[in-house]
Chains A and B, each alone.
Chain A
Amino acid sequence: GQQVMQIPQYQHVQEGEDFTTYCNSSTTLSNIQWYKQRPGGHPVFLIQLVKSGEVKKQKRLTFQFGEAKKNSSLHITATQTTDVGTYFCAGPAEYGNKLVFGAGTILRVKS
């Protein structure tokens, strides 16, 4: 069945270092979404990418959608302690109106 894989599972960085999480789908996606979940919180929608090769920026966050629309990445420049949390990618399921979530990348930032 359809799978959305995400790596790394866990990353611990020094404050000020950059961070990247990668997402790969077993199928071509019509769009990909990214979410952030703070410890003890609920997932919060960050962005949706729709176009092949699309790049979007939100301050220190850069989101990319691959040319083949099967992979995506989230890059954070100069991490801060406020970036701590789990980052999930998610794509539409092949069948039905639902999302398939990646396993998530846990980011810890040392100050």
Chain B
Amino acid sequence: SAVISQKPSRDICQRGTSLTIQCQVDSQVTMMFWYRQQPGQSLTLIATANQGSEATYESGFVIDKFPISRPNLTFSTLTVSNMSPEDSSIYLCSVVRRDRESKLGYGYTFGSGTRLTVV
């Protein structure tokens, strides 16, 4: 499966500031996905990042608040802008890869996550 390096692993930020989260994948992938997971909750897709085109945002998420860059096929960033305490959450990037041994099938590989606290 893919290896994703995500950073920072955690941060405490002041309200009104912005934080950029980076994800580096060990191989080229067409799509990268950005999720948010609030404490004790499931995963909510923020946007899909394609190389060479604008990201596709899900309902409730806008580019001004969560700008995404995808400069090449192995890297993406998500910025959380003008943060408020409601943005405190875990942010995860992920990619779709087929299990190398073709036994498990296709699944998402997730980065280790960024635990964001806004004070």
Contact = CB atoms under 8 A, between A and B. Distances in A.
Interface in B38-53: 41-43, 45, 48
B53 to A, nearest CB: 13
A96 B1 contact: no
Given A43-B43, A45-B1, A88-B42, A33 B108 contact: yes
Interface string A38-66: 00011111111110000000000000000
Given A88-B42, A104-B42, A44 B48 contact: no
Q: For B33, B108, B113, which residue has the most chain A Cβ atoms within 10 angstroms? A: B108
Contacts of A99: 45, 108
B56 interface: yes
Contacts of A101: 42-43
Given A42-B92, A42-B110, A42-B111, A98 B104 contact: no
Given A33-B107, A48-B106, A98 B113 contact: no
Interface residues of B, number: 23
A20 interface: no
Interface residues of A, number: 23
22 contacts: A33-B108, A35-B107, A35-B108, A41-B112, A41-B113, A42-B111, A43-B92, A43-B110, A44-B110, A45-B1, A45-B99, A45-B109, A47-B105, A48-B105, A50-B105, A90-B108, A96-B56, A98-B33, A98-B45, A101-B42, A101-B43, A103-B42
- The 3 A-B pairs with the shortest beta carbon distances in the complex, nearest first, are A48-B105, A45-B107, A42-B110
Interface of B: 1, 31, 33, 41-43, 45, 48, 56, 58, 92, 96, 99, 104-113
